[in-house]
Chains A and B, each alone.
Chain A
């Protein structure tokens, strides 16, 4: 048995070394393309889903939001709470916000938009709004009459909701901010565009600026936003925050932005369908190329059988050869995907209306696709080679 087992290895090593190099090249290329197609579809939708999640976290309110318990308008002792939360391992940032329904007037347009008073320094640890300024600059601590506007508040030709915006407010324009019966003139310091519709409908001012309208806000906030290092650890961190005696209603980004989660779920569902379709296409492609290759070896199969090589060894020879093709195709595909395609789309993300998507793939996904392509190649070789060993030897040799 030991002697017989070496026959397939002996034959395949010669077939690969001395067979038609173009055939080998084409088969490996086609297998690698089928493999890349599987990886690309999966990673694109994973990238979109991740982008959608990250948009909710990075542009809206971080991973965890602490809001006042029922019957309270504000969270108190913010400094103390912030200090306690920062002491927890895995916390990236903590920042208070005060959300106020402010009326903004610009030229003859007047409307109410959610305006958020932030600490410009700590807010940078939670959201990336400071990095999404496309005109002007971000807020500084102590800015008393400066405001930054989301693109859908400022309006203009690029705005998708221009009709319900300030219709073209620009950096340097004067805007009247009214709240609590007080009106003050603010200068537009910057305009931002995060691609996250809800955030782009916000305006930001500093906490000091808001105190001009609502006094006695010292150490108070309507929400305390927490950013953590590892997405998915939200519940564990919430428990630790509670254990430290911090009170308030605590919600994860999923609960805060459930609308975004439904978008993600939709993408995951589409991804599953496309993954199945991609798998089917890969299966058909690999089956066709491998089975055509094995079918062209009927003469050789006939000769091997005629000289007494057992049918099972003949089948194993061609299955082993297909396995080598698939390993080479997978290796080539993986190398091209990780060293060319992924880096390219990391530097040139897909610009989607809700954010910029890059390709994201997990080790588990790669492992699954590798196994899938390998198994497909093996099955694709078993069927024609097993069929060929059932054909009459003489018919096989004559073909």
Chain B
């Protein structure tokens, strides 16, 4: 038996070696003239292509890089990963191909570096296909306007700033304000919604990513999520290519006609990494020392987000870039650039955050330029009125601070506005289903919540979801199925809400009823 296995192994090895064919190609080579800070300058290499892969042959093995600067008699390259024993005079061979990453079903559920190497210790990733990191975005003829919603599960976003499949929605705000939290909540809510997710961490602390991965695993979200990480300790070259690598992985699913959500966390650090690389390559600095092509850096990335028409598979890539501002300054260079590229932004405001309004989404400054065509009809109906209600409340609240003598109508608007603000609050890691969102918004705009005390709103809300789930599941399913608030659905919904209210003991009693009771 043992002999048999031995023979088998030998046989297999022989076969593999037999199949091995080597070809001697004429290649272009050069010599390293300068090396340091993750950058190498190479003489020779006369036929190098832009962003071509280069192999640096050191004494202890090969190191890989990418040609970025093609000068008159030298080539500037970034080195991907640690420099190893690379030194002046080492030989460099141009590999005649552009940087590629492994793509396929196998990357799902994994944590990878931007080169597609595993970081989670779960073994090598075996894929058949490789996609180039840089790719031209799909053209006009292949595209279609955004029509399907991404259910984010975050109440203020789904109602006021809806995101559609294929949209690019920027999440912008100061540090520590919950930008990543929103992105992670959205990923968690994609469970069972036919969506692959790719989270690209750019210059993030590895501890933060470890937390995120643990949370995603706990929620079962790693079943459809890939994490691409270029950590804070990785060289700038890896940070620079990581969002492109993440997008390449997304494009595999796009080509299969599937929907993908990509989160870039965050593009400010990406721009900083690119600035570092550019300055080291001696490209002339511009505003804030960024090189002249930072706009192109982000526009070529975000243009790859798209919704393809059915002739081209009908897939989509939804991009959620994140930008960190310095003390709320959205008019800095990178934020304005990315705002102008994306189809809208979710602006998180420190004042709201400290008032306890979390997620701290500023409904006034946040917009979605394509979103409303990507809402289901029922949501559109309730959200329209709700947005009006919110705007009126903001206006009234500003001057109601000065006087107390207000007419009844104004008072009522203010009271309802307060309840609305309570509804817009939401805990982390607890996405709300669309049908639930419609139910709660419906009860607010139709005055069904006017006698719920403001401080009891969140209790009322959670109770209502539970009650609806237990007592009238059909109406929720119907809302999702039909997508519209038809008359019979509306009646059934109102009845259930009223039934639920009858079970509560904290409702306020209006003055008239009070008199009657006496």
Question: Are A and B subunits of one complex?
Answer: no
> Which residues of A are interface residues toward B (Cβ below 8 A)?
none
